[in-house]
Structure 1
Amino acid sequence: MGVEEIVLLNEDDEAIGTAPKAPSHHADTPYHLAFSCYAVDGAGRVLITQRALGKRTFPGVWTGSCCGHPAPGEGLRDAVLRRLRDELGLPGAALTSVLPSFRYRATAEDGTLEHERCPVVRALVDDGAAARLSLNAEEVERAEWWPWERCLELAGRPESSPWYRLQLAELAPLGPPLDWPDAGPGALPPALAW
């Protein structure tokens, strides 16, 4: 596998180039394209994960189901499905664009800055797949299916990721995860196809 690249953005969320992922994350990380995903089962439970303790940035924090960076030329749906499979062993899901305009900045304890346009997607997974998780130990320390009320409580605790707290502030008013409306692809950044 080659070097993973991120898509760099200008302030209008247009692609202006690419860069290698790992060396691009530092105290002055350039603004770039990412995504977050919340996997939801038929009972409305959300898959909450703890980032692997060996990750360089934000190790051990609790957060949504998965996140990642679309590769240059990769659409959002394909990127989300790739990370669900690679991080969690989930073979497929019905995807919905929930917070297509989400963006944030956050600094890790080691001084690494995250600066991302990070659309949020819901992935509805069937209960059979939900029961057969296969965690990638390089990415995920633990994963648990939580009721929505517990997810809301996590947003008030310091062991949650900063992007999780910011996303939950926007997701909470939408109601429980099975009720989240489809925001459609129209508000996605120009650099990212659905």
Structure 2
Amino acid sequence: MITYPRQVTTHDEHVVLVNAEGEAIGTAPKTVVHGVDTPLHLAFSCYVFDGDGRVLLTRRATHKRTWPGVWTNSCCGHPLPGEPLVDAVARRLSYELGLAADSVELMLPRFAYRAVMEDGTVEHEMCPVFRAIVSSEPRPNPEEVGGARWMPWKEFTDDAMTGLLAISPWCGEQVPLLTAMGPDPSLWAAADPATLPPAARSPH
């Protein structure tokens, strides 16, 4: 039986609230922060690649509050108050996918988005984007992930940008920014962590 590392339970997990400049202005329980008037808060997205340059896509579990059952990038999450973003990425990769990354590097330090579901629920995140390289196969946690598959990067980006593959709104906005960095994800230049939003550079 597969076991997963302990994860902060939803009733005691808080997210870091930020202003438009990316400065921390407080925290709020994750269970109440997502609604029709979701405040801007700190998050991250991660794209996991293997040695063949394939990207790992995941399908969000059907009981997720936002975009349930939708295909998206490998892993998303929120840093806990005081938690460095790189540590949050590693924590969520382990918990959601049973993966320990060989490397985790910052790619898009200032990405932010706002998206609204059909029922009015809003996602509103300052969401730096990371690239992780792994040398093992994922073990998806069904509490978080409804499915996973590897795809060649170009096939994925072509399908995503032409609409052949329906993906989450944040992933849809991130893909063009990542493809602009070059056709080979292994050659993307890592961003300077000093360019992260202030809340992601210092204790919250």
TM-score (norm 1): 0.94
Mapped pair 1:73 → 2:82: yes
The alignment partner of 1:186 has SS state of helix
Tell me what 2:196 maps to: 188
1:19 is matched with 28
How much is the aligned-residue C-alpha RMSD, in angstroms? 1.4
Task: Give the counterpart letter for 1:170 in structure 2.
Answer: L
Partner of 2:167: 160
**Is residue 180 of structure 2 the alignment partner of residue 177 of structure 1?**
no
Taking the TM superposition and a 5 Å limit, the aligned residue runs for 1:50-61 are 50-61=59-70
Q: What displacement does 1:151 show?
A: 1.5
Which ranges in structure 2 are unaligned for 5 or more consecutive residues? 1-7
Superposition deviation, residue 169 in structure 1: 1.3
**Which SS does the other structure have where 1:123 is aligned?**
strand
- Residue 144 of structure 1 aligns to a residue in which SS? strand
TM-score calculated relative to the size of structure 2 = 0.89
The equivalences for 1:1-194 within 5 A come to 1=8, 3-126=12-135, 129=136, 131=137, 133-152=138-157, 153-157=159-163, 159-175=166-182, 176-193=184-201
* 1:85-139 Cα shifts (integer Å, max 9, x gaps): 000000233011100010000011221111110000000112xx1x2x2111121
4+ residue runs over 3 A deviation: none
Gap regions ≥5 residues in structure 1: none
Measured after TM superposition, the shift of residue 10 of structure 1 is: 1.0
How many residue pairs align between the two structures? 190
The whole-number CA distance in structure 1 between the counterparts of 2:63 and 2:30 is 17
- Contact 1:38/1:47, CA 8 A, preserved across alignment: yes
Task: Provide the C-alpha distance between the structure 2 equivalents of 1:156 and 1:190, rounded to a whole number of angstroms.
Answer: 35
